[in-house]
Amino acid sequence: MKYDVCVFGGCALDQTFFQKVDGSYNDTPDNVSPGGKGANQAVAAAKAGAKTVILTRLGKDDIGRKILDNLNFYQVNTTNVEMVEGLENDYSNIYIKLEDKDNEIQRFSGAINSFTPEMVKQYKEVILKSKIIVCQLKVPKEVTTALINFCYENHKILILTPCRPEKLSITEKENLDLIDKISIITCNRKECSTIFNTDDIEACVQKYPNKLIVTLGSEGLMYYNGKRIVKMPAIETEVIDTTGAGDTLNGNLSAFLAKGMDLEHALRKAMYASAMKLSQSTAQAGMPYLEDLENFIQRKRNKNFAYSEELNYALGIIKDAYDSVKYTTTYQINTKADDTLVTDIDLAIEKYLIDKIKEKFPDDHFVTEEYCSENQLGDRSWVIDPIDGTAHFIKDDGLWGIQMAFYDQGNTRFSIIYLPDKNEIYYAAENVGAFLNNNKILARTSVPLEQSIVEFGGSIYKQMPIKKMVLDRLIKKEHLVVSNVLHINSCCVSYANLVSQKTDALVISTTRPWDVMPGEFLCKMCNIPVYYLDPNKKVRLITSSDAIKDVIFPK
């Protein structure tokens, strides 16, 4: 079996005490629940949607069984958990301060001290079949050393949380070699100072690009990406209990990296997860599931947006609209007056969206492809294309989507493109930015002309003479000057390809609002320029590539 995340570490029973107004604590804990850094990180990764396995040892008693049952409840794979007779389980007394909700922890170690280097050999197949390995420094150092060396020798990504930072201190020269072998180290300011024997955090991160990540509490976190120091501000949230916030960060970071996300996006998303945990009591129960995290990110990011209520609502119902029809296996296909195709699914999705929007915003207006195509744009208009690329939908090739834009007081305010088969949702909001699956779409990187791809989107036959002129200019001596030219009869996919850098330029002539408003606003929020190829502004070239622009508009 293959895994996204393998956590190698200990488990514990957390006994939490909340400080009273008079400064004292109860004699008995206010809450008792499974915890421990290894278990916490495994649960966080599993709740974030990663296929997660834990390698650990537990005492075979009621406490051990409770910890094991809890891991199974959160769908962490426990096949390799060792239940040992006579072994005492770890537990912690956690004291939550009333004023700042920070915690002081008294740890009592048992099973975690029984880990041995032989466990790395014993479970090597599990480690090798995992994308990301996560460990801490709470086990005996020789065990962590064996794991670091094994992962390094086998080119496995290892994330280490140095909760015993003195074990990794560079005052011991052999630790410099270990640090070099670790893929990512996540630590707080105090742990960083202990490891590197300095308070100069910026100097530390610059020595270890994309490796050393230092959390700074209310100041967020810091790391060096090889070109500049990246400082990510903390996510504003109500703090109830800080227990497990760091483990939430690391579990989510490992989950998102395992899914192929780049470090910057994975870290930012993990920070949102940590912020959610801070607002909940206890460690594991307070960690977010992925769906709740996505909703939290949207609410937080859009909270100062003037149309945040409309945007957040639209992001929910556009997925619901597809869910309402996705199990339909038979449907009718008809031809409209303009010779384009329409199906029962188009009509059902559009009706669903209109009905839902009317429930929430009964006075709003609609400009849509099927029911309301004669309406004119005005204040508070919803522009909807229920299936953009109906021919592709019928072919079941995945090159279709649902899209909408919201228009008010003379401007598009936000837009959404949802590609169900690709599980991609793009959205853009005025003065907020553009996002793909809740990850901010970053500035485009420059691509050489010979590596570029130009796409013709929408109906190929419209304004054909101008498009032929563009194609002729892309051909020199019977060869393309770019890498490739392609055409997709689905505007939303073409715009999505452009902003996600699957293509480098888009030539499009369609002007109907439901076809182009969502995508062109998305491009606008990505700062991708539009150039007009005819005096009537019907054919547009949308590209950030000066090289492509210069070929199509020769001087």
Overall domain count for the chain: 3
369 with 281, same domain: the answer is no
Which CATH number is 399's domain given?
A: 3.30.540.10
Residues of the domain holding 395: 308-440
401 with 536, same domain: the answer is no
Q: Which pLDDT belongs to residue 518?
A: 97
Establish if 346 belongs to a structural domain. Answer: yes
| Cα gap 14→32, rounded to integer Å | 6
| Structural tokens at position 514 | 């439901």
Annotate 131-169 with b (16+ C-beta within 10 A) or e (fewer): bbbbbbbbbbeebbbbbbebbbeeebbbbbbbbebebbe
391 with 267, same domain: the answer is no
Q: 372: pLDDT confidence band, cut at 50, 70 and 90?
A: low
**SS3 category, 293:** helix
Establish if 299 belongs to a structural domain. Answer: no
Which CATH number is 495's domain given?
A: 3.40.190.80
| Structural tokens at position 77 | 């794979």
Picking from 440, 460, 485, the residue at the C-terminal end of a domain is: 440
320 with 434, same domain: the answer is yes
Identify the helix (H) or strand (E) that includes residue 520: helix 513-525
Low-confidence winner among 62-66, 94-98, 187-191, 484-488 (lowest mean pLDDT): 94-98
381, β-bridge pairs: 365, 407
Q: Which pLDDT belongs to residue 60?
A: 95
Picking from 388, 421, 440, the residue at the C-terminal end of a domain is: 440
161 with 26, same domain: the answer is yes
Q: Are 370 and 354 in contact (CB under 8 A)?
A: no
Alpha carbon 141 to its chain's center: 33
265 with 361, same domain: the answer is no
Task: Express as a percent the part of the chain with pLDDT over 90.
Answer: 76
| Cα gap 6→8, rounded to integer Å | 6
Model confidence pLDDT, tens digit, residues 266-289? 999 999 999 999 998 788 999 999
32 with 56, same domain: the answer is yes
Picking from 385, 418, 440, the residue at the C-terminal end of a domain is: 440
371 with 476, same domain: the answer is no
Q: Are 72 and 45 in contact (CB under 8 A)?
A: no
Query: Is it the case that residue 165 has pLDDT exceeding 60?
Result: yes
What is the rounded average pLDDT of the residues 58-82?
A: 96
285 with 312, same domain: the answer is no
Q: Which strands make up the sheet holding 381-388, listed edge to edge?
A: 365-368, 381-388, 401-408, 411-419, 424-429, 433-436, 439-440
Which CATH number is 202's domain given?
A: 3.40.1190.20
Establish if 303 belongs to a structural domain. Answer: no
427 with 454, same domain: the answer is no
Which of the residues are catalytic?
247
401 with 466, same domain: the answer is no
Establish if 300 belongs to a structural domain. Answer: no
Establish if 179 belongs to a structural domain. Answer: yes
383, β-bridge pairs: 367, 405
394 with 475, same domain: the answer is no
- Give the pTM: 0.77
